[in-house]
Structure 1
Amino acid sequence: MIIGMAETKSKLKVWDNIPSWAIYALEYGIEEDPILEADEEEMIIKFLEENFPSGCIMTVDWESRREFNPFPAFGKPCATYKVTFNTL
């Protein structure tokens, strides 16, 4: 049986300012990203807890790279991507 998005009550949330350095950890988990600093891990955990407490599935728009964004979703100014999150 295939369950559609309406039946699962999932919602799409789009962020156009997700830091490029956080993409891997957001997709695979912070424990899988050995180069993250402790403060970066904390920012990612806080972002996920505040916005997706039940979890999410994400899709990155790789063509949307903004080389310098002074207002990323978290952290210092950096390159960012547009990411669509499907909440669980």
Structure 2
Amino acid sequence: MAPDQHEPDPSQTGQAAGTEPEPGAEPEVADDEDDAASPFEAAGFQPATADATDEAVLERLDRLEEQVQKQNELIERQGALIQQLVDELSRNR
């Protein structure tokens, strides 16, 4: 007999053939904490730590923060100039 097209294939649901979940039972979920850590550890991933002591990294971070601040100031000035231009163009209509 052909499998019903409306029922999922047991190989796709992770259930063994011939087993049905109990009504009201929650599906089994893998422990994501262990699974998530394994691929990172296998790839040599090392998380950043709060006690970064590498001077080069700290200096680079300081320079980047300064650059971001300068860019924010430039964006603010450009916004003010754009607003001034819009106001002037609106008055000349």
Fold conserved between structures, TM > 0.5: no
Q: Which has the higher strand share?
A: 1
Higher relative CO (Cα under 8 Å, sequence separation at least 6) belongs to 1
Alignment TM-score, normalising by the size of structure 2: 0.21
- State the TM-score, normalized to the length of structure 1: 0.22
Q: Which has the larger radius of gyration?
A: 2
Structure having the larger proportion of residues in helix: 2
